[in-house]
Amino acid sequence: MGIISILLTILKWLVIIVGVLLGVILLFVLLLLIVPICYRIHADFYDNRISARGKFSYFGPLFKGNFHYNKEDSLKYKVKALWITLAADDKEEIDAKKEARRARFKQAKLERNRKRKEKKQEKEKKRREYNKIQIENEPEPEKIEEAKESKTSEIDTPLYSDKKAAAQSYEKQEKAAAEPRNTKDEELIADEVGIIEKIAAFFNRLIYNIKSIKNKIISIWNRIKNIFKSFIERLTNARDKSSLLYKLWQTETTKRAYERFKKKFGFLLKHLKPSKVAGRLYFGMDDPAATGEALAAISVIYPIIGPHITIVPNFEETCFESEIEIKGHICLIFIGIFALRIFFDKYIKKTYQRFQHITGGN
């Protein structure tokens, strides 16, 4: 019973730990979906120059970025996570950081070299002290001379001299065996063989090149035939597919799928639309009548853009200036809800399957 209770306790704690980990992961995913991505964009057109700038943030200062565009400096951007720059187009700042990193690396290298030099000097000092002790304990010169004389007497013995002579004779025989023995006949035969090999290699290479050119021509011709054949097949299939697609569009399932998709897409746009849109349009033409006609054309969409865009006509001179500012946020959870509703809708799924069947899965 004691072992079973211990195993049950361990199993209980494992289940608790796994549950806590799953809860943390689920909480993190929910935070990613619920926390909005805030953005702000400003663009203007003055003196025939377009400029734009914007910034965004996600989880406040944890993840943010900005960009700037104009004709002179082109596009500049920067994306940061906390204090770490993930991406940037500011070359001067990147070069400065690289130089600072190189300077730190160089300083660390100099410090390592200094420590290595100190260790080497310390070892040299110990070696000198050791040599000094050895010199102090060195034996007398007379004993060293006697030892040398005894060694030379051993080397000059007849047995040693015989061995040396035998080794020298063996080396001479090896060198003699290794020397080339080319006669004039052998040189002539080698030249003839070399010429024949060169001729054979030339013809083999020529045959190989001819075969490769032939294969390339055949492959190009087959490719042209296949392209022409596929083009004819697509033309013939397009006519049949167009009639089938028209019939598919006229079915009740497709009409319901279209209505449902429009409704769900409207739900998505409602939650993703900017919270603020403000702009100004200032324009004028040479002819005041043309300016009035343009203003009349714009008045058609004025009920839509009127609350956000201020339109100022100029009937005296030609000009065109504009600016716009957009501010809002995007929650990923609404995109996820839209994707799930589209995926599980039976009418949209049926229509998509029939469309794939008609188009052959392309």
Which of 97-106, 275-284, 334-343, 350-359 has the lowest average pLDDT? 97-106
Q: Which of 210, 230, 250 is the last residue of a domain?
A: 250
pLDDT at 148 over 60: no
Residue 326 sits at the vertex; the CA angle it makes with 321 and 329, to the nearest 5 degrees, is: 170
Q: Give the domain extent around 272.
A: 252-359
Q: Are residues 293 and 349 in the same domain?
A: yes
* pLDDT in the model for residue 157: 46
Confirm whether 123 is domain-assigned.
Answer: no
Q: Which of 234, 250, 266 is the last residue of a domain?
A: 250
Confirm whether 195 is domain-assigned.
Answer: yes
Sheet holding 309-314: strands in order across? 84-88, 74-81, 63-70, 49-58, 37-46, 319-330, 276-284, 309-314
Q: Are residues 259 and 242 in the same domain?
A: no
Confirm whether 75 is domain-assigned.
Answer: no
- Domains: count for the chain: 2
Bridge partners (DSSP) of residue 159 are none
Best-predicted range by mean pLDDT among 60-64, 193-197, 252-256?
252-256
Average pLDDT value for residue range 24-46: 89
pLDDT at 27 over 50: yes
Mean pLDDT of the chain, nearest integer: 78
Q: Are residues 245 and 272 in the same domain?
A: no
Distance CA 189, CA 178 (A): 21
Average pLDDT value for residue range 71-83: 80
Q: Which of 250, 277, 304 is the last residue of a domain?
A: 250
Q: Is the pTM of this model over 0.75?
A: no
Q: Are residues 348 and 297 in the same domain?
A: yes
- Residue 140 token pair: 């007398």
Instruction: With cut-offs at 50, 70 and 90, classify the pLDDT of residue 146.
Output: low
pLDDT in tens, 214-232: 788 888 878 887 887 777 7
Confirm whether 11 is domain-assigned.
Answer: no
Q: Are residues 241 and 292 in the same domain?
A: no
Average pLDDT value for residue range 64-83: 82
Confirm whether 91 is domain-assigned.
Answer: no
* pLDDT in the model for residue 190: 61
Confirm whether 323 is domain-assigned.
Answer: yes
Confirm whether 88 is domain-assigned.
Answer: no
Q: Are residues 271 and 306 in the same domain?
A: yes
Average pLDDT value for residue range 117-134: 79
β-bridge pairing 309-314 and 276-284: parallel
Round the CA-based radius of gyration of the chain to a whole number and report it: 45
| Helix (H) or strand (E) run with residue 327 in it | strand 319-330
**Nearest in space to 65 (alpha carbons), one of 47, 44, 89:** 89
Q: Are residues 270 and 355 in the same domain?
A: yes
Instruction: With cut-offs at 50, 70 and 90, classify the pLDDT of residue 22.
Output: very high
β-bridge pairing 37-46 and 49-58: antiparallel
* pLDDT in the model for residue 95: 65
Distance CA 245, CA 261 (A): 18
Instruction: With cut-offs at 50, 70 and 90, classify the pLDDT of residue 158.
Output: very low
Confirm whether 231 is domain-assigned.
Answer: yes
What is the number of helices (H) and of strands (E) in the chain? Answer: 10, 8
Q: Are residues 242 and 260 in the same domain?
A: no
